[in-house]
Amino acid sequence: MKSFCLLALLFSLLGCKKETSVITETIYTDLSNKEVKYNQIQSVDINNDKIDDFYFVTSLIGGSDFGSTLFKIRPLLKNRLYIKYDEVKDYHVTPAFNKDDMINAKSENDFQWGTYSAVTVESLYTTSNDQTTWMGPWKQAQHKYLPVCVFKDNSYYYGWIELSVNEADEKIILHKAALRKIASKEIGAGQ
């Protein structure tokens, strides 16, 4: 009976394997609800190495009967954004991911990873009679995820920045961010 118990204990110990936790594979950063408003810059150091990885900025474009505030993200160094060219708007845009959407090397729906100097997240149009309209994939976005890719030590790391659009106060709110510690490993938005 003792040998049977020892044999059962041995098999149960051999059957155990150490699971790697998603939490230990990911760097999480609280962005403290930083606000991106007209004429303000917010930086994001997503991998906590004391070097900014992305800037959120605004820019104005206009004509005689309208004006537009473009809320943009600017990747620094060799960092990348998931983007596509919008022919109607004549600039690059980035998608709003839902929780658990996978962020990886794949290109889908005409989106691809790129290193453009600035990519529009959302646009606020103002007409000559001061009426405003938000346009873009982030319109009314609440706690959606912007896919990002950070270049470090000759490798790319996938991550996300959680943000919301506050239309009433004309701003974007940066909630938190995450980045995989393992190069080229996919990450689920919000995970």
Q: What is the pLDDT of residue 108?
A: 86
Average pLDDT over residues 51-69: 87
Has residue 14 been placed in a domain? Answer: no
Residue 184 is assigned to a structural domain of this protein: yes
Of 10-24, 65-79, 80-94, 149-163, least confident by mean pLDDT is 10-24
Encode pLDDT of 120-161 as tens digits: 899 988 887 888 888 888 999 999 999 999 999 999 999 999
Domain presence at residue 9 = no
Average pLDDT, the chain: 87
Residue 53 domain boundaries: 21-188
Q: How much is the average pLDDT of 46-71?
A: 89
Burial 22-44 (b: 16+ CB within 10 A, else e): eeeebbebebeebebeeeeebbb
- Structural domain includes residue 71: yes
Dist. CA 44–CA 34, nearest whole Å: 10
Cα 94 to Cα 29: distance, rounded to the nearest angstrom: 21
- Is residue 56 within 8 Å of 87, Cβ to Cβ? no
- For CA atoms 9, 13, 14, 15, the dihedral sign is positive
Is residue 74 assigned to a domain?
A: yes
167 in any annotated domain: yes
Residue 127 in any domain: the answer is yes
Instruction: Specify if 12 maps to a domain.
Output: no
Number of domains in the chain: 1
Q: What is the distance, to the nearest Å, from the Cα of residue 88 to the centroid of all Cα atoms in its chain?
A: 24
CB 136 within 8 A of CB 124: no
pLDDT in tens, 12-45: 544 554 444 445 799 999 999 999 999 999 999 9
CA distances from 29 to 48, 161, 179 (A): 8, 9, 9
pLDDT of residue 3: 55
